[in-house]
Amino acid sequence: MTRKREGADVVWEALLAEGVDVVFGHPGGAVLPIYDAMTKYPVRHVLARHEQGAAHMADGYARATGRVGVAMATSGPGALNLVTGLATAMMDSIPLVAITGQVPTSLLGTDAFQETDVVGVTLPITKHNFLVTDVHELPWVLRAAFKIARSGRPGPVLVDICKDVQTDITDRPLPDPAEIHIPGLERQPSVDVEAVHAAADLINRASRPLIIAGHGVLMAHAERELQALAEKGSIPVTTTLLGIGSIPETHPLSLGMSGMHGEAASNFALQECDVLIAIGMRFDDRVTGKLEEFAPKAKIVHFELDPSEVGKNIEPTVAVVGDAKEALQHLLPLIKERHHPEWLRRLQEWKAESQARDAVNLETEDLIPPQVMRELWYVTGGQALVASDVGQHQMWEAQYYMHQRPNQLFTSGGLGTMGYGLPAAIGAQVGRPEEKVWAVVGDGGFQMTLQELGTVAQENVPVKIAIIRNGYLGMVRQWQQLFYERRYAATPILSPDLVKLAEAYGIPARRVTKRSELHQALKEAHDADTPYLLDLEVVEEFNVYPMVAPGERVDNMLRRPLVPGEDGLTPAW
């Protein structure tokens, strides 16, 4: 029989048993007993300035470490502030456990002070959630929460614990995770070898094969298998936004990202390939463009863990349901060594043509974002962990920072959550203290969660913050320019003096306005042992290209202009 202890102790016992060493949170009335018990346990608590920050930090931590991130908040407003972070994690399949306090069981449903039906609110944005009204259930529920969060296709799980449960006594032990039986967890698909043979057959007969690698490759740790497949079959690789890092972007077979702001060569390849090997991706509309005309010449092989993603948007010729690593391990011996010189030559031509018209070639003293991102790549040796926010800078980062390794980029892909970048970078840095972590953010998104500078300062988290400041909500402005006759409704945005702001928090900072200062400034920030903020004043009306207009064919792109102003839209600067 386990010793008797309070529910609050059970929480920390469970966290320790799950290997949790850091919790991101914000205390409050209904979660006080858990916070009070915390002082007895060897766990670091990072105080976020807003619960949304705590959720994104836990998310960044989870992406950077591969472990389950933990966020904690009080009832009502505290829990509600987690919502955006939970939805972000849900869309991108990130394993999180959120622990929230709830009013005492006697007050449930009475509209008590700081009471919200948090389980009801988070129902559609969590993989699963629990309301705990009986302390004897708590050990099982907490173990189950972690098991659900990390199993299969991972996701966020919320555990809402009534305040009286936190102080009630139980002698129930923590169950062994192997003893946790939940119907939804019993359905882990195993790879169908017959389907793998069918896939190999298609791939071996292809003359213009293409791999599109998604987040699932990284989550399954299948990068090596992916690269082996590409090299053995001489198959070029494009990625989704979240698949970035599944192959080094300097690899000769890497085509970079595809989709709405994908590389032209990638998008042309999608439309020209005769066999498309989709691995751990879900044919999101940002990738496919006009769905009916996506990859029209291709037979599609879909490797996917989640059966509900198979046939959801695209009906594949062959589907292999199961873990990507396991599936690729079965596949590799069946793949014939092949060469596709003609196909690869065409891709090279597309790449070369893109490079010739690229904005990185421009000679100007102004700061232009593609050059800033490429310079950051040089300065960091391509090895930094980068958390980006959402908008233009996110796409420039994806395009111009040539990611070299898995789990190097953390970004809100599915939900597109502005304000994600800074807190995610904090979480990543806390989880990977030995790495250099950069937050690449826009002036819009940064101002949504800039209060987390307080967390940076208080916890002395040495993140480097690059703010790509163009004075606009740039991506929205770009759409207004292209589709709303340049009526810039509500997109100009003022920033405070960002250098002074950083200094107010005791964070070293510097403003950069000229290309000639860029290298030195980035280097100074990168080499610092402290946090560092760079205010990068870039050209205002600079657009992200290529761009596929929403609903258009993915190869129907607004291309990068050869010379400034050639698109008739981007003003000469």
Contact region with other proteins (CB under 8 A), list: 119-127, 161-169, 195-203, 324-332:
119-127
Q: How far is CA 465 from the centre of its chain?
A: 17
Q: Are 261 and 231 in contact (CB under 8 A)?
A: no
State yes or no: is 257 an active-site residue.
no
State yes or no: is 51 an active-site residue.
yes
The three-state (H, E, C) secondary structure of 455-479, written as one string: HHHHHCCCCEEEEEECCECHHHHHH
Query: 10 Å Cβ neighbour count for 572?
Result: 8
State yes or no: is 355 an active-site residue.
no
Place of tokens 């690899």: 251
Q: Is 173 in the site for other proteins (CB under 8 A)?
A: no
Among 4, 312, 345, 486, indicate the residue that binds other proteins (CB under 8 A): 312
d(CA 298, CA 384): 36
Contact region with other proteins (CB under 8 A), list: 127-135, 225-233, 465-473, 537-545:
127-135
Based on CB atoms, which residue is closest to other proteins, 307 or 462?
307
Q: Is 177 in the site for other proteins (CB under 8 A)?
A: no
Site string for other proteins, 253-292 (x = CB under 8 A): ----------------------------------------
Based on CB atoms, which residue is closest to other proteins, 120 or 381?
120
Residue 534, H or E segment: strand 532-537
Among 89, 119, 287, 450, indicate the residue that binds other proteins (CB under 8 A): 119
Based on CB atoms, which residue is closest to other proteins, 296 or 311?
311
Residue type, 543: N
Question: Does the bond joining 546 to the residue before it have cis omega, within 30 degrees of 0?
Answer: yes
Q: Which of 4, 40, 113, 514 is catalytic?
A: 113
State yes or no: is 24 an active-site residue.
no
Residue type, 262: G
**Residue 71, SS3 per DSSP:** strand
State yes or no: is 281 an active-site residue.
no
**Residue 42, SS3 per DSSP:** coil
Contact region with other proteins (CB under 8 A), list: 125-133, 194-202, 423-431, 553-561:
125-133
Based on CB atoms, which residue is closest to other proteins, 148 or 422?
148
d(CA 218, CA 200): 21
Q: Which residues contact 20 (CB under 8 A, 6 or more apart)?
A: 43, 67, 68, 70
Among 173, 296, 311, 571, indicate the residue that binds other proteins (CB under 8 A): 311
Q: Read off the tokens for 232.
A: 């053995």
Residue type, 510: R
Residue type, 201: D
Least distance from other proteins to the Cβ atom of residue 180, Å: 11
Contact region with other proteins (CB under 8 A), list: 55-63, 179-187, 237-245, 457-465:
179-187
User: Angle, nearest 10°, between helix axes 392-400 and 369-379?
Assistant: 50
d(CA 437, CA 4): 43
Least distance from other proteins to the Cβ atom of residue 323, Å: 16
d(CA 261, CA 212): 15
Site residues (CB under 8 A) for other proteins, limited to 180-199: 182-185, 187
Site string for other proteins, 131-160 (x = CB under 8 A): x----------------x------------
Q: Which of 475, 480, 481, 547 is catalytic?
A: 475
As a whole number of Å, the end-to-end CA separation of the chain is 75
d(CA 515, CA 525): 16
Least distance from other proteins to the Cβ atom of residue 308, Å: 4
Least distance from other proteins to the Cβ atom of residue 322, Å: 15
Least distance from other proteins to the Cβ atom of residue 153, Å: 8
Give the residue numbers annotated as catalytic, written as ranges: 51, 113-114, 163, 475
Residues near other proteins (CB under 8 A): 119-120, 123-124, 127-128, 131, 148, 182-185, 187, 306-308, 311-312
